[in-house]
Amino acid sequence: MILTVTLNTALDLTYAVPALVPHSSHRVTEVTERPGGKGVNVARVLSALGHDTVVTGFAGGATGAVLRRLLGALPHGPADALVTVGGNTRRTLAVADRSTGDTTQLNEPGPHIGADEWAAFLRTYGELLPGAEAVALCGSLPPGIHVGAYAELVRLARSAGVPVLLDTDGEPLRRGIAARPDLVKPNADELARLTGAREPLRATRDARRRGAHSVVASLGAEGLLAVTPDGIWRAAPPSAVRGNPTGAGDSAVAGLLSALAEGLGWQDRLARAVALSTATVLAPAAGEFDRAAYEELLPRVTVEQHASAA
């Protein structure tokens, strides 16, 4: 079983409009809703790849009930181990501009989590860890959760002997990486905020020196850059693609995590992550991945290894 943690789950709403024009009224041509939050997105991809997956984190209120209903309705979807809270789960609103392919995102902050709710989550997390092959800690922290929460969860996973991947931003990333996760997956902007460096290789090396066993950086259309104990790796799709990038980073996390759980080496991990993220950009629905595109892309991803991670 692969465990994903989403402390700030969300009900993802997508509005499609012919063209997004500031300061004007719009007629929405299509509305979609799905269970969201980074770890939930990762779990949905893992389940689609055939992995036994469990989702934990928080859900509450009317929005949380809708999220759980949608999660339960997914065919062969992840198991629900979410902890019920008193506050209302947040919503995220994506406005997709059909004329340009661009997406504008609006994210609510999430419900306030009390001390007793955090304690209930820690009990659930502790009960799930012994059965996990790997765990992903993903996304933002809701109000009320202390900034060192991910560092605490990394240490608990390491104590249980479970490989742990961290995908977050800001101070939670800074604290979490110092707890020595097995893998950290930031994007270029998150790396720059963490290290102060804009050059990708320098920033990725710096991030690894802060405590992570390995760091895989998302570089958008350029693919992935990994600094690992086995050296430096670069992986890229065979060609640039256009589409909706929503969820592409989460699909990359799913690719890395699934390959880790299967015991695959870095070349296969990175190829799977790039193929999945690219297939997500190409998918008609935001946050999904195009399986046919994924299978066609996988053998054509370019993965190059460099000698040293020093």
Residues 102-118 pLDDT 10s: 888 889 999 999 999 99
In this model, does residue 239 exceed pLDDT 90? no
Q: Retrieve residue 190's tokens.
A: 């998150």
* 250 has catalytic annotation: yes
pLDDT (tens digit per residue) in 38-51: 999 999 999 999 99
pLDDT, tens digit, 9 for 90 and up, residues 296-306: 889 999 999 98
Instruction: Give me the mean pLDDT over the 53-82 stretch.
Output: 95
- Global pTM value: 0.92
Tens digit of each residue's pLDDT (9 = 90 or more) over 77-98: 899 999 999 999 999 988 888 8
CB–CB of 45/72 below 8 Å? no
Q: Which of 296, 295, 277, 297 is nearest to 287 (CA)?
A: 277
Joined together, the tokens standing for residue 298 give 């996988």
pLDDT in tens, 263-279: 899 999 999 999 999 98
13-17, 99-103, 110-114, 142-146: the lowest-pLDDT one: 99-103
User: Considering 52, 250, 268, 290, which one is annotated as catalytic?
Assistant: 250
Report residue 245's pLDDT band, with 50, 70 and 90 as the boundaries. Answer: confident
**What is the percent of the chain with per-residue pLDDT over 90, rounded to a whole number?**
73
